[in-house]
Structure formats: C-alpha cells, structure tokens
Amino acid sequence: MPSAAPPLTPSTIRADALRQLRAALAAAGIDSPALDARLLLLAALDISSAELAGLPEAPLGEEGASRLAGFAARRLAREPVARILGEREFWGLPFRLSPATLEPRPDTETLVEAVLKTLRRRGHADWPLTIVDVGTGTGCILAALLHELPQATGLGIDRAPEAARTARDNAGRLGLAARAHFIVGDWSTAVAGPVDVLVSNPPYIESDLIRTLAPEVRRYDPLLALDGGPDGLDAYRALAADARRLLAPGGLAALEVGEGQADAVAGLLAGLGPVSIHPDLAGIDRVVLVEARG
Ligand SMILES: C[S@@+](CC[C@H](N)C(=O)[O-])C[C@H]1O[C@@H](n2cnc3c(N)ncnc32)[C@H](O)[C@@H]1O
C-alpha cells in the first residue's frame, strides 16, 4: 500500500512541515527520515540550515508547499534524496546525476584513497600520469583523482552514452575539461595504452540478487551499472584482460569489488604483480589493487 503523504499547505509552517514529513517517511520505513526530511525541505524552499533555524515559524508559501509535496511523493515512492535533488557529493565535489548514472557511494572513496596512497608512496603523485576510468558513470572517480593529481590526464569510458555525457558535463563544471575526456565504449576495447592507472567500479551484483536489493537501488540505479552477470564477476574478467594489455610497466590497476569478491578478483589480477586489498570504513574488503611489474 502506498504510504500517506503529509498534508502540506501553503500556510503550514516550516517546523510543522519538517515534523510531518519526517513522520511520513518513518512510517514508510525509510532509513533516515529526519535527515531526508530536512534535506528535502531545505531544497524545496531553497534555504540554508541557518535560514531554517532562524525562521522555523515561516509558512511554506504556495510554491514551497507544492515543491515539497512533489519531493515527498517521490521519496515515499523510494526515489533516493540525491536523485530528487539531482546532485550528489563525492570526495567533497558535486556530481550531477542522470537516470543513466549510478549514484556515487561513499565506499568508492576507498578506491580513490588506495590509488592516491600508492602513488604518493611511490613518489608519482606529481607525474603526468594517464588514467583510464572504465564504467565512469558520473565521472566521480576520475574527477576525484584528477582533482588530487594536478599533472594527470584521464579518459572515462562508459557503455551508456548518457552516462558519458553526464560525466563530461560534471568534469567541465569542476574545471577539469582540459584534462578529462570521455568516450562511449565497451570496457577498454577502444584504448591502445600504455596506461599508468586503470581504475574501475564495475557492475558487480550477481544477476539473481538484483531483485533483492533495496527499492532505492533496484528501481533507480540503472541495471547496466549493477548487473555483474551470473557470478557477479563478468566485468572483472574483461578488466583483468584490459589491465594485462594496457598497463605500462610499473602502472597500477585498482578495482572496486563487492563483499566477498576480493579474493576472486585478486586471483584474476595476480599474474600482473603484487596485489593489495583495501577495506572500506565498515571493514569490508572493497578494493583490489595491483602494481604491475616495472
Ligand atoms: C557501478 S557503476 C560505477 C559508476 C561510477 N564509476 C561510480 O563509481 O559511481 C558501473 C558503470 O559501468 C558502466 N558499464 C557497464 N557495462 C559496461 C561496459 N561493458 N563497458 C563500459 N562501461 C560499462 C555502467 O553504465 C555504469 O556507469
């Protein structure tokens, strides 16, 4: 049964709207009702937290009530807040979303951290590195790396043309257009190499498990971004072959993996050089990194 929307009117005051929305989201079983209600209210009224704190008794007004009612209906239909707002932060940078892009996840920052740590340990962070990001989505991994590595240039590849366009737009808005290029392609088949850094957060959910995912993921993240084939490892087989073909001597590849996949992916990369496995903040092995022999 669809959950009841809060009874918002133009004369409803901000504080009451927040309470009503929080209660409606909680009743619908949404995980973070207080935070979501607050973010949606601020966005619907286009105000800051300080403005809300300063004038909690102000009425929503015609436009505010109508926008907030629309946002509430979408969230109650389990659309994620970031999709409603159209933007999501990753590595402290803003990324626009489109229906063709995965919503970037905090876990993926583990991959950015692992690559930067390795490059810094090796004293390569100021080198004019070439980076390839396969399955770039919003372009978040590539943009975060280029943001931290001022001499590097990068290529983002996605099979979804709309994702490649969104990534290009995001890189442009972040001032990275001169160093980041984006193409539509199937894994790295269009790339000749050599490549210094190959990164990817590929689709890795086992096909049969997709129907068990939370509605926020199953209904709103694109299937192409989720489906890793029968055992979830299809993409890694292609990427391991790409790494073997493309990596420069001494180059590195870093792949995000799903829970329980690290050992299998480490096995696929093992022939290239020493492999390390990096946990995310929850302690789950999240990134497999290989440093190709020089
Ligand atoms: C899990 S998403 C990751 C998106 C983004 N890199 C991130 O971390 O938020 C995987 C991405 O791979 C893309 N993809 C799926 N199959 C592909 C293929 N054969 N070649 C290139 N990209 C592919 C999807 O369109 C999607 O954007």
Residue 274 CA to its chain's centroid (Å): 27
Q: Identify the CA nearest to 18 among candidates 65, 83, 78, 62.
A: 65
CA distance 135 to 157: 6
Find the 203 Cα to ligand 1 centroid distance in Å: 6
- pLDDT per residue as tens, the chain (294 positions): 456 778 899 999 999 999 999 999 999 999 999 999 999 999 999 999 999 999 999 999 999 999 999 999 999 999 999 999 999 999 999 999 999 999 999 999 999 999 999 999 999 999 999 999 999 999 999 999 999 999 999 999 999 999 999 999 999 999 999 999 999 999 999 999 899 999 999 999 999 999 999 999 999 999 999 999 999 999 999 999 999 999 999 999 999 999 999 999 999 999 999 999 999 999 999 999 999 998
How far, CA to CA in Å, does 132 sit from each of 97, 156, 168, 180? 21, 6, 14, 10
127 is in an annotated binding site: no
Per-residue pLDDT at 7 = 84
SS3 label, residue 30: coil
Find the 168 Cα to ligand 1 centroid distance in Å: 14
Asked whether the beta carbons of 112 and 144 are under 8 A apart, the reply is yes
Summarize the chain as % helix, strand, coil (round to 5): 45, 20, 35
pTM for this one? 0.95
List, chain by chain if needed, residues with CB within 6 Å of any ligand 1 atom.
Answer: 102, 104, 108, 134-138, 140-141, 157-160, 163, 186-187, 201-203, 224-225
Per-residue pLDDT at 199 = 98
Q: Which residues pair with 199 in a beta bridge?
A: 133, 254
Per-residue pLDDT at 3 = 61
Find the 157 Cα to ligand 1 centroid distance in Å: 8
Q: Where are the alpha helices (DSSP H) in 55-183?
A: 61-76, 81-85, 109-121, 140-148, 161-173
Domain boundaries, the chain: 14-77, 90-291
SS3 label, residue 86: coil
Provide φ and ψ at 166, rounded to 5°.
Answer: -65, -40
On whether ipTM exceeds 0.90, the answer is yes
CATH 3.40.50.150 for domain 90-291:
yes
Shortest-distance Cα residue to atom 17 of ligand 1: 159
